[in-house]
């Protein structure tokens, strides 16, 4: 627990934060010199040690903070790069939220998949979830499909249409979502996508909420709610469609970074909070956190629930 960012704090508070036994007394100068405990410089805020010394220099000091940085992201070439593997742990597949940052580098629009899980790799009619961009209609689509009967649970968002264009910034459907029309992004061209899903709900309109840079995409078409039963999926991909017999299929052309998975359908407020961290501040939203693929020079997830293999995608630095 970090020290407060404002208000009254005491030397005792600082000592307690530093793990020093109660009853110890010392001077601020000795604290700032690191004579009593070693100051954790991974803390977002810590005193510099130079006089004059003041209690306010300890505001927000977090003795247990770990260093955090976003040094890498995963770059897919759109030709043969893909990241696939078996789900071996507890990955939610009905009620969950996926948060990810993407940068589209395609010169001309084409289909691209972002996050998918399937029953069996290479079998297109298995149970599956696909989250993908359908280029022909310029739509971002979240699609569950039950293999046994083809029942679906879908929300499809035309990026250029109605209220979506304001949110996405991808206004020209013919051009599509490409590098020259990335829409609303951060300074490095990345968009934060968040898919908040509760497939147990009878209506996909309520069960699928999609956010672009923290803003809900308000308009969807082809909404279908005939499949809100559980699916049997043990294989997943980040960046292509693993249900196709070819690999990759609908491959990502661009960069994916900081993929976080939660076990609940997060609220718009929660999504806004996550978006607010940006890509270069630690995402400290931990409610119902399951795992993350931070793409920090590895495609392994933080909790070890999935065994992904990277075929050719490149870790780029300082994304």
Partner 1 sequence: MYYLLTKQQYDAIADALTELPAWNLNRSMCIAHYDSEIIEYERIFTTSTEAIEYRNSAENTAEWDLTDEELFLI
The count of chain residues that interact with partner 1, using the rule CB under 8 A, is 35
Choose between 144 and 262: whose C-beta lies nearer to partner 1.
144
d(CA 218, CA 277): 23
Among 99, 116, 173, 249, binds partner 1 (CB under 8 A): 249
Among 138, 244, 270, 283, binds partner 1 (CB under 8 A): 244
Choose between 222 and 272: whose C-beta lies nearer to partner 1.
222
Pattern 178-217, partner 1, x by CB under 8 A: ----------------------------------------
80 binds partner 1 (CB under 8 A): yes
Structure tokens at 305: 């629930």
- Least distance in Å: CB of 112 to partner 1? 11
77 binds partner 1 (CB under 8 A): yes
How far from the centroid of its chain's Cα atoms is residue 18's Cα? 32
Q: Which stretch binds partner 1 (CB under 8 A): 160-168, 247-255, 265-273, 277-285?
A: 247-255
d(CA 314, CA 296): 11
Residues 251-280, interacting with partner 1 (CB under 8 A): 251, 253
Residues 218-237, interacting with partner 1 (CB under 8 A): 222
Q: Answer whether 195's CB lies under 8 Å from 210's CB.
A: yes
- Least distance in Å: CB of 315 to partner 1? 14
Strands (E) located in the chain: 72-77, 82-87, 95-104, 112-118, 128-134, 139-145, 152-158, 191-198, 208-212, 215-216, 221-225, 235-238, 253-262, 289-293, 306-311, 314-317
Determine whether 185 is exposed, middle or buried from the number of CB atoms within 10 Å of its CB (0-12, 13-18, 19+).
middle
Residues 93-152, interacting with partner 1 (CB under 8 A): 106-108, 110-111, 124-125, 130, 132, 134, 136, 141, 143, 145, 150, 152
Q: Answer whether 72's CB lies under 8 Å from 319's CB.
A: yes
248 binds partner 1 (CB under 8 A): yes
Query: H or E segment at 51?
Result: none
Choose between 64 and 311: whose C-beta lies nearer to partner 1.
311
Among 18, 47, 78, 242, binds partner 1 (CB under 8 A): 78
- Phi and psi of 275, rounded to 5°? -60, -35
SS3 269: helix
Q: Which of 17, 46, 21, 45 lies closest to 33, judged by CA?
A: 46
- Least distance in Å: CB of 299 to partner 1? 14
Q: How far apart are the first and last CA of the chain?
A: 30
- Least distance in Å: CB of 312 to partner 1? 4
**Where do contacts with partner 1 occur on this chain (CB under 8 A)?**
77-81, 106-108, 110-111, 124-125, 130, 132, 134, 136, 141, 143, 145, 150, 152, 154, 222, 241, 244-251, 253, 311-312
């Amino acid at each position: 627990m970090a020290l407060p960012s404002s208000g009254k704090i005491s030397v005792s508070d600082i000592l307690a934060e530093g793990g020093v036994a109660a009853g110890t007394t010392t001077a601020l100068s000795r604290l700032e010199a690191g004579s009593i405990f070693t100051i954790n410089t991974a803390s977002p805020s810590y005193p510099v040690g130079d006089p004059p010394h003041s209690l306010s220099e300890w505001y927000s000091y977090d003795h247990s903070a770990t260093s955090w940085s976003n040094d890498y992201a995963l770059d897919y070439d759109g030709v043969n790069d893909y990241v696939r593997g078996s789900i071996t742990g507890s990955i939610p597949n009905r009620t969950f939220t996926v948060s990810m940052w993407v940068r589209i580098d395609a010169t001309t629009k084409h289909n691209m998949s972002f996050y998918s899980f399937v029953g069996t790799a290479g079998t297109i009619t298995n149970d599956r979830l696909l989250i993908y961009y359908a280029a022909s209609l310029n739509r971002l689509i979240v699609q569950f499909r039950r293999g046994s009967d083809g029942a679906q649970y879908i929300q499809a968002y035309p990026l250029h249409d109605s209220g979506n264009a304001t949110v996405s910034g991808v206004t020209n459907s013919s051009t599509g979502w490409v590098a020259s029309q990335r829409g609303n992004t951060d300074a490095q061209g990345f968009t934060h996508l968040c898919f908040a899903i509760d497939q147990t709900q009878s209506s996909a309109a309520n069960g699928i909420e999609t956010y672009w840079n923290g803003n809900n995409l308000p308009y969807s078409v082809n909404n279908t709610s005939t499949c809100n039963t559980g699916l049997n999926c043990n294989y997943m991909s980040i960046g292509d469609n693993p249900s196709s017999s070819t690999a990759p299929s609908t491959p990502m052309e661009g960069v994916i970074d900081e993929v976080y998975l939660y076990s609940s359908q997060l609220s718009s407020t929660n999504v806004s909070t996550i978006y607010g961290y940006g890509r270069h501040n630690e995402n400290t939203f931990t409610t119902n956190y399951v795992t993350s693929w931070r793409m920090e020079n590895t495609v392994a997830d933080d909790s070890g629930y999935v065994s992904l293999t990277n075929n050719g995608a490149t870790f780029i630095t300082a994304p």
